[in-house]
Amino acid sequence: MDYDVIIRGTGRYVPERVLTNDDFARIVDTSDEWITARTGIKERHIVAPGETASYMSEMAVRKALEMAGADPAEVELIVVPTVTPEHVYPATASVVQGRIGATKAACFDMNAACSSFIYALNVATNFLRVGQYKNALVIGSDIMTSIANYLDRNTCVLFGDAAAVLYLVAEPRSETPRGIRAFDLGSDGTAVDILYQYAGGSAAPPTPRTALDEGHFVYMEGPEVFKRAVRTMEQTVRDVIAKENVEPLEVDWFLAHQANSRIIQSTQKRLQVPAERVYINIQRYGNTTSASIPLCIDELNEEGKLKSGNKVVLFAFGAGLSWASCYLIWEGQRE
């Protein structure tokens, strides 16, 4: 049996502590002018002690389940896309399961870097579409400040911490197209070394040497990643909507992974769509990796800006070099 997969709840958790661009100017050789002009970021939130990936996830999930009127004990699947899991193992999803009492849920984490959220959304959608599970939580949760190098001005100013979630429900197929419709996923594994974290995995297990060599931090060749991001994001958006015979100008909301406002604006210009349809909140959060797209969705949902029938495209690009996009038709919350 084939089901429609509908987003019935959204939620987010953003730590209270804020680091402004002026705060960074006291740490490294930078300025508010440079960061604002080159990235669009004004401030980002960072965790306080005790605000772990699973804590942030729990807070976001409680909001989403309340919105959907769902009981945590009914949740059947928890997927946590993340590049900064709480531990190497067990999966952060299992820790979240214990925190919220989702005793029936299957749990695992996923990593496709900045594209993780959409990859995980695709996996969860497939479980629901075929009827293996009735519902799922997809929780983007990243503590990017745990892998940011506060001695490297090229990268440290870019990142922030947050968790955000979508609660998906499988519902009987409707005659009118609705819910999550199509995905486009990909990766160019020939350029893995322009954006990566060298140490901490099996290739370079953690040692005092890897720490001294700064191998546990984000390494990025920014300008090269930038160029590839713009080209690839445009293409993946075109490819995913073409699967449903939709043109760029028919799309109501373009929700991009928030890595740099200039990347998002360049993509918008290449797609030749109005800027008002492209949501940007990077000024308040920086790049929150797996949380960035559901953070956009939850904010728009809370503000009532997502209307039933709206055509929405999610798209992302990141290490791997991975990319992903999703086309969906928004369905409002149940009355």
- Can you give the C-alpha Rg of the chain in angstroms? 19
Q: Is 101 helix (H, G, I), strand (E, B) or coil?
A: coil
The only residue of 38, 231, 238, 270 in contact with ligand UT7, by rule CB under 6 A: 38
Least separation in angstroms between residue 107's CB and ligand UT7 is 26
Q: Which residue number, 59 or 271, has a Cβ lying nearer to ligand UT7?
A: 271
Q: Which residue is nearest to ligand UT7 (CB)?
A: 222
| Separation of alpha carbons 92 and 295, rounded Å | 19
CB of 319 to ligand UT7, least distance (A): 6
Catalytically annotated residue among 114, 156, 296, 326: 114
> Helix/strand/coil (H, E, C) string of 208-269?
HHHHHCCCCCCEECHHHHHHHHHHHHHHHHHHHHHCCCCCHHHCCEEEECCCCHHHHHHHHH
**List 135, 260, 287, 301, catalytic entry:** 287
Give the residue with the Cβ less far from ligand UT7, 99 or 153: 153
Binding range to ligand UT7, per CB under 6 A, among 75-83, 151-159, 248-256, 293-301: 151-159
**Phi, psi (5° rounding) for residue 298?**
-65, -40
The interface region with ligand UT7, picked from 1-9, 85-93, 141-149, 153-161 by CB under 6 A, is: 153-161
> Which entry of 21, 45, 107, 257 is annotated as an active-site residue?
257
For residue 104, the minimal CB distance to ligand UT7 (Å) is: 34
The total of other beta-carbon atoms located within 10 Å of residue 11's CB is 28
Question: Least separation, in Å, of the C-beta of 25 and ligand UT7?
Answer: 9
d(CA 99, CA 55): 8
CA 116: distance to chain centroid?
7
- If residue 68 lies in a helix (H) or strand (E), which one and from where to where? helix 53-68
Instruction: Kindly state the tokens that stand for 311.
Output: 């055509």
Identify residues 199-238 at the interface with ligand UT7 (CB under 6 A): 222-223, 225-226, 229
CB of 209 to ligand UT7, least distance (A): 27
Return the SS3 of 49: coil
Q: Is 114 annotated as catalytic?
A: yes
157 binding ligand UT7? (CB under 6 A)? yes
The neighbour count for residue 232, using CB atoms within 10 Å, is 20
Nearest to 298 by CA among 252, 259, 255, 250: 255
Smallest distance, Å, CB 266 to ligand UT7?
11
Binding mask 169-198 for ligand UT7 (x = CB under 6 A): ------------------------------
**Is 287 an active-site residue?**
yes
- Residues 245-264 within binding reach of ligand UT7 (CB under 6 A): 259-260, 263
Q: Which helix (H) or strand (E) element contains residue 311?
A: strand 311-318
Active-site residues: which are they?
Answer: 114, 257, 287
The residues of the shown chain that bind ligand UT7, judged by CB under 6 A, are 30, 34-35, 38-39, 114, 153-154, 157, 222-223, 225-226, 229, 259-260, 263, 287, 318
